[in-house]
Amino acid sequence: MKTERLKIAILSGAGISAESGISTFRDQNGLWENHDIMEVASITGWIKNPALVLDFYNKRRAQLKQVECNRAHMICALLDNHHDVTIITQNVDDLHERAGSKNIIHLHGELLSARSEFDETIKIRCDGDILPGDLAPDGHQLRPDIVWFGEMVPKLEEAALIVSNCDILIIVGTSLLVYPAAGLINYASTAKSIYIVDPNLRPKDIPNFNNQRMQLINETAGHGMQLVFDAIT
């Protein structure tokens, strides 16, 4: 029997890409690839040392070429065959795209994109390195198209609208600690079910946990997404 096509929003975070070998945003000692977060992910760090910031993201871009999408990414894409799916990702990689997902909102920007440091609307595709002196079409220095700490999240309103209209919300690979993205769960007022896939989270870690609507799956992203897929297809 064919199941009803539902509106599904998937909020994905670093944990889903970690299973492909991409380092998570913040490791155990509070650093990102041995750098203080604010040195490489803030406008202050950019102003202080743009060459360091460019080199950091050049290395992240090179790393991205060495990894592949994993089981969890593939399952997210397969859900498109059964339901109307929008991916809302905190990740800056392109692994959801490579898996075949079509409707993707990148909340925190994209590694394979560069923008003018003066005008965030002027963007170009970027598969290689960005160097000091590389200019955007408006004549200003190119910078990574990444939303840094302290900057507005341009697509947050669009993401909130998607979540507010979804039938099912799936949260995978995110600890729900990084705001404002973590606050999106509060918009899921019409969602009949909310699946949260994380090997370490406990109900007490989730704000306003409601076990009538929320199902916490303490599994890896790949295994957990398979369980969700089986439940809703």
Catalytic residues: 108
Residue 145 neighbours by CB under 8 Å, 6+ apart: 109, 110, 113, 114, 115, 123, 126
DSSP of 114-157, one letter per residue? EEESS-TT-EEE-SS---TT-B-TTSSBEEEEE--BTS--TTHH
Strand locations in the chain (E):
7-12, 31-32, 35-36, 84-89, 104-106, 109-116, 123-125, 142-146, 168-172, 193-197, 214-217
